[in-house]
Amino acid sequence: MDRLKTFAIYIIIGVLFWILSDILIEVGINTMYKNMTQKGTTPEGIEVVQMQSTAVNGRMHLKVNNTDYNNKFLKIDLFSSAGNNFGTQYIEIGNLQENEVKDIQTYFKISEVKSYEISVVDEMGETTTGFMDTAMTAMTVLVLGIKLLFV
């Protein structure tokens, strides 16, 4: 019976360590993100919820609620501190109904991005490499880590 209690204590300690490390990792990662500055003005009907970057990647969260932009594209340009264009992403807005809000979240893996510019265009251009639709989840990271251990 003592062996079972010891085993249960080890499991509890392991779970608590896992929870604590997840919390500390989340806090550590989120404090690394800094808000980017905006070049120009945001078109009417587009709300910038979040535009942040670190030294190696970034995240964007936008809301579009203007029906004048139906069948158009958002053009998002990313710039360095010197004003060099590091990347461009085109996102299709689609058809919005009256009072409908389209929620757009995207991520990029481009280094040293300091500012951004948002515009609405009629035609889609070429998107720069380095943009992702979703962030890597904890499960994806765990699976990739295990895969790397055995390869």
Q: How many domains does the chain have?
A: 1
Task: Give the domain extent around 116.
Answer: 33-138
Instruction: Answer with the residue of higher pLDDT: 29 or 107.
Output: 107
Q: What tens digit of pLDDT does each residue of 5-64 get?
A: 999 999 999 999 999 999 998 888 778 888 999 998 888 889 999 999 988 888 899 999
In a domain, 20, yes or no: no
In a domain, 23, yes or no: no
Torsion angle, CA of 10/16/18/22, rounded to 10 degrees?
-170
Q: Where are the alpha helices (DSSP H) in the chain?
A: 2-32, 138-150
The band of 133, judged by pLDDT with boundaries at 50, 70 and 90, is low
In a domain, 39, yes or no: yes
Rounded-to-integer distance, Cα 76 and Cα 126, Å: 12
* pLDDT at residue 88 is higher than 60: yes
**Backbone phi, then psi, for 39, in 5-degree steps?**
-100, 130
Return the CATH number at 81: 2.60.40
Sign, CA torsion 119/120/123/126: positive
Residue 129: CB atoms within 10 A of its CB come to 9
Q: Where are the alpha helices (DSSP H) in 1-150?
A: 2-32, 138-150
pTM of the model: 0.70
In this predicted structure, what is the pLDDT of residue 63? 92
